[in-house]
């Protein structure tokens, strides 16, 4: 059968062999971009205690970032809270603080002013619980075309408050020792939530695109609307084998936090959590004034 049109087959063979050969690829992945800068944008609402703990954990455990922005709503803070925010600004003076009335406008302005290619989004109650170099995350995002790198996810995340059973971990592939990829369409709940504020790293252009047409005026409404946009669930997410960040439930007595106290984040280091939300009682330590 393969010789029924021998003359045409010979002609096509000569044409193909006459074409210039493809140059060998240095890597099977796409070409890396030059700008790998990462900015972190934190959306703070009404818990200076959580915000202080997050910034402290970033300073201790997170590397590879360029700028950190804190967006805080001054309308949500009473006079005592305002004093606490001033203390935070004093202890973390290298951070850019943006006071907002309209969260959508301020967030879009920060994104526009950032010249970094990558953005990490977080709300104030997240804590980093292990060492992470975000440049490693960027390298793998570039190589795999992943939508995001999710520090709050890992193979340890088996519980979700919406379920009375274990949360299924989706089929996944180890693309590098200790780092896994999965498709959102195969996940449920935490694993099917591509856009969130749980210490997740995105390309800035992707964040700008899905925020553009979204309506929100608070951190809560932003979270609620994040995954109502049209999204290709065949896209890929990346995570470490063990989650590197966890959210703290808002259970700490507000009166325990003042300008001389802070959440003790020491017990959270290397925490073996099975949920993205930590509901354990928090401990408070004295803050060293003048740091």
- Per cent of the chain over pLDDT 90 is 60
Over residues 141-150, the pLDDT tens digits come to 999 999 999 9
Q: Own/partner pairs for 24-31, CB < 8 Å, 24+ apart? A: 27/143, 29/142, 29/143, 29/144, 30/142, 30/143, 30/145
The token duo for 243 is 């989650």
The per-residue pLDDT of the chain, averaged, comes to 86
Is the pLDDT at 258 greater than 70? The verdict is no
| Structural domain 38-286, CATH architecture | Alpha-Beta Complex (3.90)
Q: The pTM is what?
A: 0.84
Model pLDDT, residue 78: 47
Model pLDDT, residue 281: 74
Domain ranges of the chain: 38-286
Is the pLDDT at 77 greater than 70? The verdict is no
Over residues 203-233, the pLDDT tens digits come to 999 999 889 888 898 888 998 888 788 889 9
Model pLDDT, residue 23: 56
């Amino acid at each position: 059968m393969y010789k029924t049109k021998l003359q045409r087959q010979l002609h096509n063979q000569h044409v193909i062999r006459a074409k210039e050969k493809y140059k060998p690829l240095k890597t099977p992945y796409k070409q890396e971009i030059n700008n790998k800068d990462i900015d972190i944008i934190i959306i703070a609402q009404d818990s200076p205690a959580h915000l202080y703990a997050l910034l402290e954990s970033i300073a201790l455990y997170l590397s590879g970032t360029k700028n950190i922005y804190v967006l805080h709503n001054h309308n949500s803070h009473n006079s005592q809270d305002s004093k606490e925010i001033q203390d935070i600004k004093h202890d973390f003076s290298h951070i850019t603080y943006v006071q907002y009335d309209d969260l959508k406008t301020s967030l879009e302005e920060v994104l526009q002013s950032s010249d970094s290619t990558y953005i990490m989004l977080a709300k104030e109650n997240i804590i980093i619980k292990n060492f992470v170099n975000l440049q490693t995350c960027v390298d793998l995002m570039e190589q795999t075309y992943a939508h995001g790198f999710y520090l709050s996810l890992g193979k340890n995340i088996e519980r979700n408050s919406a379920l009375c059973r274990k949360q299924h971990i989706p089929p996944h592939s180890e693309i590098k020792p200790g780092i896994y990829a999965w498709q959102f369409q195969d996940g449920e709940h935490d694993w099917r939530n591509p856009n969130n504020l749980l210490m997740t790293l995105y390309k800035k252009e992707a964040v700008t695109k899905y925020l553009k047409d979204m309506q929100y005026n608070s951190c809560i409404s932003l979270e609620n609307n994040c995954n109502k946009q049209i999204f290709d669930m065949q896209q890929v997410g990346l995570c470490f084998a063990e989650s590197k960040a966890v959210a703290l439930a808002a259970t700490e007595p507000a009166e325990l936090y003042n300008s001389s106290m802070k959440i003790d984040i020491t017990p959270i280091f290397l925490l073996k959590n099975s949920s993205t939300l930590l509901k354990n009682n928090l401990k408070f330590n004295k803050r060293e004034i003048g740091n």
